[in-house]
Structure 1
Amino acid sequence: MWRGSQFKETKLIILVDVGNSRIKLCELNNEDINAPFNSTTADADAALRIISVSKPSQVLVSAVSDEQFCERLQQLCKSEQIIFRRLGTASCNTNIQIGYQRPEQLGVDRWMAVIGAQELFPNKNLLVVDAGTATTFDLLSADNRHLGGWITPGINMMISALYRNTTQVRGAITTPDSLSFADNTSDNVNHGCWSMTVGAIQFAKIQAQQLGVAVDLIVLTGGNGEALLPHITSDAYYEEKLIFIGMAKCIDLNR
């Protein structure tokens, strides 16, 4: 349940994560930006209503999609005299050395997840996997070097593409409990696509080892992140709000 009016004596800050599939909002207050967050998922109109009613002091946005919504949100903040800040990859003061040749090309959602993972597990070699519409991989060394990563189709995207581009392969999109060899086409597709992602995670660890970075922990987030957790044989941790934890490190309390 959204509780935008819960902070009576402190300033409310709302973080907005605009992904390829959904808009998520997270609220926190300026007195303890590390407090547990209250978050919700909303469509564009509902998100704007929430912000208008809640009347936060600041809105921070991490967006990889829906520029029209971002423009509407900026106009709302201007009319309501709310500080609006659109985060970019270089927006946060962080001690992480970015591993992209052109930092502006690294998706801000990935960068916020990396910052969030470092906040949760400092001084560790981390493989950060965001299993959403796309599945992204980012390697962060214990000495705070971002060593690049991968982008692959998300699990549901792989399954949908296979159904769409074949004549006789048909079935549903499911979240399997087991990735065993299956005895029907639908489970063959689902188990196979989930296994491909699990295999990619394990191979990413091998690639990291070849760089001299032994992964201490796999940090999972995204819509399929929690469901991947039981299939990962290495040490792994799931954090639904990883991007928001990273975004919280970008808050300027002096504004």
Structure 2
Amino acid sequence: MSFVDVDIGNTRLKWRLRGSDAVTYCMHGGDPATALAQMLSHTQGALYVAHVFGADVEEALRAAAVTGGAREIRFARTKAEHDGLRLAYAQPQRMGVDRFLAMAALWRERRAGFIAVSAGTALTVDIVDDRGQHLGGFIAPGLHAMRTAVLDRTQFPHVFDAPAHDQPGTDTESCVAEAALAAALGLLERVQTRHRLPGFVGGGDATTLQPFLASDAWTLREHLVLEGLAALND
């Protein structure tokens, strides 16, 4: 039986066949069940799914999987402890499974401390020490969310796609874009300075942040959730 790992984030659905390096993604527009059904027209098998939505969405996802011909569908859950990784949360079920899976993937690979970052709708940071103990983390608005929080409250027409270059902006949009970038980089650099652990960055905005981070301290890892799904289901 073939296994397909599926990562459903706030805006995108990504999947890959277990054992393959090829990752495919699509925007789901807030309707992940329809996107999953469309995915199944291209690939079938047993699905192992991580999603950031509430439990209510799982019924629709399961129905889409059955209609699409999937042999089975299983949903990943956050665990208080896995393979020597121990979460700091007193209520592990309140941690997004995407964060847990990213840490599980890195811990399985490294068996040493790290900083796991997901740069998407939210910017999440989690620190794990050399014993596998999760020390806690940070959740901040992602780059687009930070831009929106400012620009949507202005009274003039504006755009959101101003590039950022880690320098002062020269118009309102670029000033906002540069501030969002600086805030994100500042958080990551502060965490790395304090804990002195190697950092790994994934998520939709990872490639935006990576060029401005120290190359000897930070590594781009775009598909940690998919790697975590494979790690938990081997």
Scaled by the length of structure 2, what TM-score is found? 0.87
Most deviating of 217-226 and 167-176:
167-176
Match of 2:14 among 5, 24, 48: 24
Distance 1:129 1:13, change over 3 A: same
- Match 1:164 to one of 152, 165, 172: 152
Distance 2:56 2:14 in 1: 16
RMSD: 2.4
Q: 1:89 aligns with which of 78, 83, 93?
A: 78
Aligned pair count reads: 228
Corresponding residue for 2:182? 195
Give SS of 1:114's match: helix
Match of 2:122 in 1: 134
Q: Distance in 2 between matches of 1:159 and 1:52?
A: 36
Matched-pair contact (CA < 8 Å) for 2:8–2:51: yes
1:40 maps to 2:30: no
Residues 234-245 of structure 1 aligned to structure 2 (within 5 Å): 235-245=217-227
Structure 2 match to 1:248:
230
State the one-letter code of the partner of 1:86.
F
Contact 1:221 1:239 in 2 (8 A): yes
Deviation at 1:117, TM superposition (A): 2.1
Is the Cα–Cα contact under 8 Å of residues 25 and 47 in structure 1 kept in the other structure?
A: no
TM-score, normalised relative to structure 1: 0.80
Compute the displacement of 1:59 (Å).
0.8
User: 1:22: how far off?
Assistant: 1.7
Q: Secondary structure at the match of 1:48?
A: helix
Give the SS at the match of 1:230. helix
Whether the aligned pair in 2 keeps the contact of 1:63 and 1:109 (CA below 8 Å) is yes
Other structure's SS at 1:144 match: coil
Conserved 8 A contact 2:4-2:47: yes
Residue of structure 2 in register with 1:14 after alignment = 4
Inter-CA distance 154–98: structure 2 relative to 1 (3 Å threshold): same
* Alignment-mate amino acid for residue 219 of structure 1: F
CA distance in 2, matches of 1:168, 1:38: 40
Give the AA of the match of 2:218: A
Q: Is the 8 A contact 2:121 2:141 kept in 1?
A: yes
Q: State the alpha-carbon separation in 2 of the partners of residues 66 and 101 from structure 1.
A: 20
Aligned-pair distance for 1:68? 6.0
Tell me the secondary structure at the aligned position of residue 174 of structure 1. Answer: coil
1:108 aligns with 2:97: yes
1:48-97 deviation line (CA, Å, top 9, x unaligned): 133255330x1111111276653223124456462221111029842201
Contact 2:7 2:13 in 1 (8 A): yes
Distance 1:52 1:246 in 2: 24
| 1:172/1:228 CA distance change after superposition, 3 Å | same
AA aligned to 1:17 is D
Distance 1:243 1:49 in 2: 21
SS of match in other structure, 2:232: coil
C-alpha offsets along residues 192-247 of structure 1, whole Å, 9 cap, x if unaligned? 11010000111112443xxxxx31x1100001111111111251111111110011
Task: Tell me, in whole angstroms, the C-alpha distance in 2 between the residues paired with 1:126 and 1:86.
Answer: 26
CA contact (8 A) 1:60 1:86 kept: yes
Contact 1:25 1:41 in 2 (8 A): no
- Work out which of the two has the higher radius of gyration on C-alpha atoms and give 1 or 2: 1
Percent identical residues:
22
